[in-house]
């Protein structure tokens, strides 16, 4: 009798263990996929600025998505497209170098949070003046759309030799 009970316990363990391993693997794959999706969104945003493609940038945002820079805030893809085009009518983005990207997701929320740090360089078209800034951006993403993009821009302490 003890032998039969032992075999039943072994069978239960043998049946459940692969399910637990599969679930953990699926969970980690979902997080990795989320990270990869976020990285793709950041790369699309970077490329949109470099190529001057305002539609590509604005299309990343949810209908109520916010684009926030020190002193200003725009809501929705149409407003974001407009401010993008205004900026690009007077500037050319020369370079964006991503220094770091951290992605965090929570099992109890459908929002993925990311922080990207990038170095930015642009030229004012009328004067040829080059500006450089270190930029930290906090980003919230729900589904495949940005709900909040908040920039913290430091143009004062950027070294010209970095």
* Domain range annotation of the chain: 2-154
Please name the residues in contact with 66: beta carbons below 8 A apart, sequence gap of 6 or more. 73, 74, 75, 147, 148, 149, 150
| Nearest to 149, CA basis, from 116, 103, 104, 100 | 116
* In the predicted structure, residue 37 carries a pLDDT above the cut 50: yes
* In the predicted structure, residue 23 carries a pLDDT above the cut 90: no
For the residues 17-32, what does the mean pLDDT come to?
Answer: 39
The architecture in CATH of the region 2-154 reads Roll (3.10)
Residue count (the chain): 162
| pLDDT tier for residue 36 given thresholds of 50, 70 and 90 | confident
* In the predicted structure, residue 14 carries a pLDDT above the cut 60: no
Are 105 and 112 in contact, with CB atoms under 8 Å apart?
yes
């Amino acid at each position: 009798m003890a032998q039969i009970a032992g075999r039943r316990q072994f069978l239960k363990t043998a049946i459940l263990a692969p399910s637990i391993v599969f679930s953990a693997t699926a969970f980690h794959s979902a997080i990795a996929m989320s990270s990869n999706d976020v990285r793709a969104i950041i790369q699309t945003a970077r490329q949109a600025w470099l190529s001057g493609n305002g539609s590509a940038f604005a299309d990343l945002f949810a209908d109520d998505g916010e684009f926030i820079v020190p002193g200003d805030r725009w809501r929705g893809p149409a407003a974001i497209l407009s401010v993008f085009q205004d900026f690009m009518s007077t500037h050319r983005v020369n370079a964006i170098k991503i220094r770091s990207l951290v992605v965090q997701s929570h099992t109890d929320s459908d929002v993925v949070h990311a922080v990207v740090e990038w170095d930015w360089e642009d030229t004012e078209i009328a004067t040829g003046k080059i500006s450089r800034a270190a930029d930290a951006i906090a980003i919230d993403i729900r589904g495949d759309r940005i709900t909040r993009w908040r920039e913290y821009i430091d143009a004062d302490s950027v070294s010209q030799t970095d």
